[in-house]
A and B are shown apart, each in its own frame.
Chain A
Amino acid sequence: MLKDITLGQYYPSDSILHKLDPRVKFIGTLVFIIALFLVRGPVGYAFATAVLAALILLSRVPVKFMLKGMKAILLILIVTMLFNMLLTPGEPLFSFWILTVTKEGLVTAVRMALRLIYLVIGSSIMTLTTTPNQLTDGMEALFSPLKKLHVPVHEIAMMMSIALRFIPILMEETDKIMKAQIARGADFESGNFIRRIKNMIPLLVPLFVSAFRRANDLAMAMEARCYHGGEGRTQMKPLIYAGRDRTAYFLIVLFLAGAVVLGILGL
């Protein structure tokens, strides 16, 4: 059961998107999301759809993986669509019982749905083509100006990458403890919700104890290897922009400009 959870849904491949600098991908995703809220009309959405399709093709990730993320937002999607359809005032399209679907409602509902779906696909293109580590590095580099405001950017990035390293280990440990407790008669499956939560205690207590022990060990090991924060630290894999990254930035600016124009024209 615990094996099914995979974090950072990276899909290994060597497409051009995989090779891009994580900073470019991060900013590109951000721009794409902003653009989704700028465009209104059918031409605008056609433009966004074309760009998204091109990105999917470039990423060489099977579409199946992109759609996986849909499952998580299905409920939100249905609820937003329903509310928009039923509660937007305007020209009634058809009605049954006390519910009336308006024309304006239908348009808004479709627009919202498209926005949500594109948003999820757009961000999963980033997570599918970037390893969690690259993502952390990229974020650290992008947010490093915040260091001047005493935001511990390096420390946060280090914590994130350590968390990523320890998730599979703690997962395995949870599995082990679970089996050990089941062997001693613990019951994790039956009973109502509250009972089940209560039954988790014999799992959580040893897990936390061991997590703290690991944290302590790791801190000592890091100190033993001269870790003393981000100051005076060099990087083994520093992020350096290549030609393709500059091209990508240029395309992102172009895309943003296109979206702004379409948004203003209301097409």
Chain B
Amino acid sequence: MGIIRAVKLAFDYIKYGEDDAGSEKVRALDQVDLDVEKGQFIAILGHNGSGKSTLAKHINALLVPTEGSMWVDGIDTSSEEELWHIRQKAGMVFQNPDNQIIGTVVEEDVGFGPENIGVPTPEIWRRVEDALDRVGMLAHRSKSPNKLSGGQKQRVAIAGVVAMRPECIVLDEPTAMLDPNGRKDVIQTVRELNEKEGVTAILITHYMEEVIFADRVIVMDQGRVVMQGTPREIFSRVEELKALRLDVPQVTELAYELKKAGVPLADGILTREELVEALCSLN
């Protein structure tokens, strides 16, 4: 069994109408099946309201399924006694870097998680140093988070999760509020953690360029998983993606248009190098 497994997961939330106009149940997730192997890099795509954030919050037991079930490392997330255990195993990084940093000094913020799970003091210091080193923020350890750029703050947030020694990191649109440089740094950090430390990464994003490194891409729409496969498989279905109001990487789009115009190219070209090679080998 994989590290994260969802079976027929469904989640309803209650939407209250204005002026006591009554409430209605809205199904945010519907019949979601998911099985993630340890050490994988998973990307989840979907436009606003597709249920991807709701799914992410289930992995960290911030939300508990209405129907079906979710297991993290073999533990059912609906079991109340195991709650802190689950949250330690599956760390979460949110969209807004400012709203998830608690400490007034970088190192204190990274130490917040280990403090909460009762790690002894000398061990906290070791973990904080190690975590900051892994995200490349060790030089900024005694700065105030307010003095950092968005990308740096987000890397501090990642370090805060890493210091808890999780099996898996869920990143809910971590780059949505960052500039292109910050975005690159954050994704690079996540990839390194995934490749070097074998931490399972689940990345929710709007940016297609961030998805092409993933082992598997999951596309969601209206609370359901509608497509699943390797980036190449997914991005060769350009028409379907467009119908879901999703983009494809620029290069893929160019290749797709060229192909439509009669150039014999393969489906699902993902990187610039691939396209160059494919075009050069035409003659």
Contact = CB atoms under 8 A, between A and B. Distances in A.
B250 interface: no
A76 interface: no
Nearest to B85: A226
Interface in B99-130: 99-105, 107-108, 111-121, 124-125, 128
A234 B113 CA distance: 10
B62 A227 contact: no
A2 interface: no
A62 interface: no
Interface string A142-183: 000000000000000000011011001100000000000000
Contacts of B96: 214, 217
A133 B119 contact: no
Contacts of B118: 232-234
A220 B99 CA distance: 9
A227 B112 contact: yes
Interface stretch (A66-74, A187-195, A235-243): A235-243
Nearest to B95: A217
B146 interface: yes
Contacts of B124: 234, 236
Contact of B87 (A225, A236, A237): A225
For B104, B114, B128, B164, which residue has the most chain A Cβ atoms within 10 angstroms? B104
A223 interface: yes
B159 to A, nearest CB: 12
A89 to B, nearest CB: 53
A132 interface: yes
Contact of A228 (B100, B116, B146): B116
Interface residue SS majority, chain B: helix
Nearest to B157: A221
Nearest to B90: A224
Interface residues of B, number: 38
B60 interface: yes
A253 interface: no
Contacts of B120: 234
Contacts of B3: none
Chain A CB within 10 Å, residue with most, of B60, B115, B119, B161 = B115
Interface in B63-122: 84, 87-88, 91-92, 94, 96, 98-105, 107-108, 111-121
A223 B100 contact: no
A237 B112 CA distance: 11
Nearest to A162: B102
B39 interface: no
Contact of A220 (B94, B117, B119): B94
A222 interface: yes
Contacts of B94: 217, 220-221, 224
Interface residues on A, range: 20 to 34
Contacts of B107: 236
B121 A226 contact: no
Nearest to B92: A224
A218 interface: yes
B160 interface: yes
A100 to B, nearest CB: 54
A236 B108 contact: yes
A70 to B, nearest CB: 28
B102 A236 contact: no
A138 to B, nearest CB: 15
Contact of B146 (A169, A220, A225, A235): A169
Given A169-B146, A237-B108, A226 B88 contact: yes
Given A224-B62, A236-B128, A165 B101 contact: yes
Contact of A238 (B87, B98, B100, B121): B121
A103 to B, nearest CB: 52
A225 B104 CA distance: 16
10 contacts: A165-B102, A217-B96, A223-B62, A224-B87, A224-B91, A225-B116, A225-B161, A234-B114, A234-B115, A236-B111
Given A221-B94, A225-B102, A236-B108, 17 more contacts: A133-B108, A165-B104, A214-B99, A217-B100, A218-B102, A220-B62, A220-B94, A221-B92, A221-B102, A222-B112, A224-B92, A226-B84, A226-B117, A228-B84, A233-B115, A234-B114, A234-B124
